[in-house]
Structure 1
């Protein structure tokens, strides 16, 4: 089971291929050797002495309470326009602003409503009654303009969701401007990813 390192919400960390370890050699490098053919063979388990001194707790020490790690699964469409993250406790959708709004506008495109409808269906399926809707921009333009635009865009998505959900569902709507980037603002590709709206909600027990 992989360990999930905590990050400050509502940021997300881009996923990618893990780098090689320092000094790691690959095929074609001097001194590289292929792994043995029997690397996957099953061997007899090593017998462990439960009374071994190295396994004993120090005097007065106690084992910590067991905890369930928050395992995350990420699904991203081929164009990178929509990203879904599922963990053991919540679901989060991240939509690039360009698939929801015209440039520098908080008015939803016609195609945006279909994407939001699918998110509303998932919220209903999970039985969630609390939904976060957060808007973000890139670092172009003033911070104040980004704050206003990101808030208006988040509000537009919230309004569309509310029209499709039970009135008992409550919303937390915020605009964060250029705060919490998930990509490099020095490239257009990165800025495109940073211009986004995130919708997250807890999973039912």
Structure 2
């Protein structure tokens, strides 16, 4: 089986990423349906300030004041294979994989295909490499069909991927957050089949290890 990195053609984007805090459930059961949770990278950005007077005395440091220490902005690297079937995003803090539903499941199904296990196991290998102990598994659909049907299907698909990950990792110390978001948080235009295909996906994200 090819390594994960060999399936991609890389492009790098520098951006500031705000990661929302979430609570993780224990590995036993490994389900997270309580309360809202926003997928990493989808948080709303603050509106830019308007009508700033660069000469305003309020912008000057007060007597005796000093500047805060410099802060390194988070860098996001996005790597996608040529067919768009897999997408990997790396930041200073997290790693996220997005797998298109078509490579994991049949149409309108939550039953994993014969080639799905290899894809998921490769992600499990990366989780081991990063020594991650908290894993998010989020399912998404396009906007066809009812929202409620998409909610159920996306959760079932996330559950199926989490089960394979749990078996591959075999680590009771790992906790999982598993959610289905239906058509919420699209990453492409739902008005085209190409865009809808990208939106039908399962994302697996976890913290980056200190030594990677």
Distance 1:154 1:179 in 2: 15
SS in 2 for 1:62: coil
Could you say which residue in structure 2 is the equivalent of 1:170? 175
Partner residue, 1:30 = none
**1:189 matched to 2:207:** no
Q: In 2, Cα distance between the equivalents of 1:61 and 1:168?
A: 46
- Out of 132, 138, 141, the residue aligned to residue 137 of structure 1 is 141
The equivalences for 1:31-70 within 5 A come to 57-59=61-63, 61-70=65-74
| Inter-CA distance 101–71: structure 2 relative to 1 (3 Å threshold) | same
Q: CA–CA distance in 2 between the matches of 1:134 and 1:89?
A: 18
**C-alpha distance in 1, partners of 2:105/2:142?**
15
- How many pairs align? 163
Query: Offset of 1:183 from its aligned partner?
Result: 0.6
Aligned equivalents of 2:144 and 2:14: distance in 1? 37
For the residue of structure 2 that corresponds to 1:95, the secondary structure is: strand
Q: Does 1:4 align with 2:16?
A: yes
State the shift of 1:87 in Å.
1.1
> What's the CA shift for 1:57?
3.8
Stretches of structure 2 that go unaligned for 5 or more consecutive residues are 1-12, 21-37, 43-59
Shift of residue 68 of structure 1? 2.2
Work out which structure has the larger RCO, using CA pairs closer than 8 Å and 6 or more positions apart in sequence: 2
SS of equivalent residue, structure 1 residue 134: strand
Segments of structure 1 that go 5 or more residues without pairing to the other structure are 14-55
Please report the TM-score for the alignment, with normalisation by the length of structure 1: 0.74
Q: TM-score, normalised by structure 2?
A: 0.71
Once superposed, what is the RMSD of the aligned Cα atoms?
Answer: 2.0
Between Structure 1 and Structure 2, whose CA radius of gyration is higher? Answer: 1
Relative to structure 1, the CA distance from residue 184 to residue 163 in structure 2 (aligned partners, 3 Å threshold; closer, same or farther) is same
CA distance in 2, matches of 1:138, 1:107: 18
1:135 and 1:174 in contact (8 A); partners too: yes
Preserved contact between residue 150 and residue 175 of structure 1 (Cα < 8 Å): yes
Q: Sort the Cα spacing of 1:5 and 1:157 in 2 relative to 1 into closer, same or farther, 3 A.
A: closer
